[in-house]
A and B are shown apart, each in its own frame.
Chain A
Amino acid sequence: MNFRYFLLILLSTFFLYVLWLPKQTLIRKAFVLCFVAGMLVFALNPDLSTEIANYFGIVRGVDFLFYLSHLTLFFIAFVYYLRFREMEIRFTKLARQVAIDQAMNLDLRSPD
């Protein structure tokens, strides 16, 4: 039971933190808030997760949350992969432009 209160405090704090974060975009903020709010609901009413799990053919609510967190983590990893790829492409273009701008004619340099 103590752990449940601890979880509630932790999630509530995170909820408020995200709510007041100034630099987050609206969609990202909404996503995180929905996620945290969902976790809060499940922490307050554990039977709800079992009901939803049963609806999807899963026996235990905790298993349902386990699968859900895996999907969420996969989604987050995918989003970060996309962002990494975009940055990689931008960085490559920058390095390419610098290389082209600073191209050297080596026969003009002193021979060995």
Chain B
Amino acid sequence: MGTNQTIDSRVFVIVRAYNEATVIRDVLRQLCERFDRIVVIDDGSTDTTAVCLNGLKVILLRHCVNLGAGAALQTGLTYAVSHGADWILTFDADAQHRVEDALAILKLLQSGNCDVVFGSRFLGTTINIPKTRKVLLLVARWFSNRMFDTRLTDAHNGLRGFNRKAAALLDLTQNGMAYASEMLRQLKEGNMIIREIPVTIEYTDYSRRKGQSSLNAVNILIDLIMGRLMR
């Protein structure tokens, strides 16, 4: 792959956005340089996020109301699978991720040795990560690994890659942030091979402001427990 070459059209990049008008255009410009099929899920934004995308080579899907990160991801996956995607990458709209990392994930996916690739900030680098967030993520990591018998270092990272088989398998019903654990469960039950790759996550003032509250971890835990009971 040359540096200015775009990836083939069987690769879809899903970008979830909720009130990201400040940064999303720059993020998508970078992605557009390398990827041909970018699907933006506007999760009921009340700002000018959708208007900011005019003229960019992206496909916009709009939720009529804000449903949550899990619902937006599932919408993107459903769209991509039904439109012939062979490899699907997920990328956050708040400028925390790097396109080079997405390309590395794609390369590993296309090698055919795994079905899913998770980017891991704990194998790679985190820039300006708040201490509370780090502790919270480590607790979530311990919890997920215990619950699903995995050895992952960062299952809650938004930078991920799926092959078609893994994406088609997923049927996320947790609309909020608890989707990450639900996804892990479904992937494990489907015997998908999951790999991790080091990535760099940069916490900017903007992303720290936008990020979820640490107290939301309690809500996520309740969602998970209830979801587990409901099965």
Contacts and interface: CB of A to CB of B under 8 A. Distances in A.
Interface of A: 81-82, 85, 88-89, 92, 95-96, 98-100, 102-107, 109-112
Interface string B50-61: 000111111111
Given A100-B78, A106-B55, A92 B60 contact: no
Give the 6 A-B residue pairs with the shortest CB-CB distance, closest first: A111-B55, A107-B57, A99-B61, A96-B75, A104-B60, A92-B71
Given A95-B64, A96-B74, A106-B53, 12 more contacts: A81-B226, A92-B67, A92-B175, A95-B65, A96-B78, A100-B78, A100-B79, A103-B60, A105-B59, A106-B57, A106-B59, A106-B60
B55 A95 contact: no
Nearest to A92: B71
Given A92-B175, A98-B64, A100-B61, A106 B56 contact: yes
B59 A99 contact: no
B173 interface: yes
A111 B64 CA distance: 24
B62 interface: yes
Contacts of B74: 92, 96
A109 B55 contact: yes
Contacts of B60: 103-104, 106
Contact of A85 (B53, B78, B230): B230
Interface in B210-229: 226
A112 B56 CA distance: 9
A81 B229 CA distance: 12
Contacts of A102: 61-62
B41 interface: yes
